[in-house]
Structure 1
């Protein structure tokens, strides 16, 4: 049975939002990973794999920060949910305030990262503060993807996107596929997010190598574009 089609939204708007947010997620995730001994900021459950790897190698480098990432992520997601309910109760669209909050947290991630240099240990308090601010920013992005952008393709965890893209490609190439239009629609929405996430990850690695935490100005600029271009109303 094929996956259900995504609800209809303007394709151009969806691609713009998805593209910029996928770029932000890929970029920030790699900066955290490179700068903070393998800390995932967007894909937080991946930190448990790395904790296991460190324990197997009889190392504790970065373990404390990775352990704290999940509870911080959970708290921020819960706070985001409450904020969305509050804003909707007051008749305000939640997307723009959440984008602004994510932008603010990325700015604090940048500032804390600069203050923590040189990072000798990812478990030093300044380094952990920087990493957890990055986790908090990506927690907001993960939460809003579920709460108010559920009709857009996911932008933070690409495993599901990759799986669906492959399934839809097979269905489009297979003779006799019944719902080709649904497969084509999903492919148009999901494939760009996947490719842009990968490009963001590559650029994040190059940016950090060239400019340290200053490179976070790039995803902040992408979020700034979305903040300025988002009306203060609930998206369709």
Structure 2
């Protein structure tokens, strides 16, 4: 029996959420190491680092404010785009994932060709941060609005709580409850493991080849995008 890679990368498969979680942590580690301790997929982290920068390294604080503004505005734009795509019957999940890969490719090229970056407010730094934030806010919208039957790929606190609750519920006597709990453990556990692996591998690759390491998540997201059918997004239920 021959393995169909398109099936493995299809959006209905658990592997899709695991791959996107791997890429999310990989990208954030690259941003933390290379873009002056800046998160672009994890707004909680951005707020924490901003609070620290204001008192420790105030010259880096404006970059975190840029991320917050970029994330908010781009998320508004991506939500509006998804709604428009559903109403018009044009566009697809494939298009959105390939768009994310394209934004990350631009981020990689600007950052790698400009390295070492001159400072937190250098033009290349701001451009790289903006492109990465646009890409990761798009992934968050895709997971929230289209692939919401999977575990979130950037919210590991919530995933951990659901994993722990699944472990606890698995001790109950009801077989139905236990089956649901085991499913929850697998669903959230594999995403947490993939996210952690992405961070570890991202840190190692960044230490070896710098921003060119972004070729790993770019390649993976491109593969996932190309594996999706070119069918329009389903209209929202009334």
- State whether residues 65 and 132 of structure 1, in contact with CA within 8 Å, keep that contact through their aligned partners in structure 2: no
> Residues 141-166 of structure 1: CA distance to partner in whole angstroms, max 9, x if unpaired?
00111111111111112110011101
Kindly report structure 1 stretches of 4+ aligned residues shifted beyond 6 Å: none
In the alignment, structure 1 segments of 5+ residues that lack a partner are: 1-10
In 2, the alpha carbon distance for the partners of 1:120 and 1:134 equals 18
Q: What does residue 155 of structure 1 align with?
A: 153
2:154 partner SS: coil
- The offset of 1:50, in angstroms, is 0.8
In 2, the alpha carbon distance for the partners of 1:130 and 1:231 equals 30
Q: What does residue 164 of structure 1 align with?
A: 162
> Residues 13-56 of structure 1: CA distance to partner in whole angstroms, max 9, x if unpaired?
43121111011101001100111121001002321211111223
In the alignment, is residue 101 of structure 1 matched against residue 99 of structure 2? Answer: yes
- State whether residues 107 and 129 of structure 2, in contact with CA within 8 Å, keep that contact through their aligned partners in structure 1: yes
1:133 partner SS: helix
1:42 partner SS: coil
Q: What does residue 91 of structure 1 align with?
A: 89
If the length of structure 2 is used for normalisation, what is the TM-score? 0.88
- State whether residues 115 and 126 of structure 1, in contact with CA within 8 Å, keep that contact through their aligned partners in structure 2: no
In the alignment, structure 2 segments of 5+ residues that lack a partner are: 1-9
- State whether residues 26 and 200 of structure 1, in contact with CA within 8 Å, keep that contact through their aligned partners in structure 2: yes
In 2, the alpha carbon distance for the partners of 1:200 and 1:61 equals 29
Q: What does residue 205 of structure 2 align with?
A: 207
In the alignment, is residue 15 of structure 1 matched against residue 10 of structure 2? Answer: no
If the length of structure 1 is used for normalisation, what is the TM-score? 0.88
Q: What does residue 78 of structure 1 align with?
A: 76
- The offset of 1:210, in angstroms, is 0.6
- State whether residues 36 and 127 of structure 1, in contact with CA within 8 Å, keep that contact through their aligned partners in structure 2: yes
Aligned length: 225
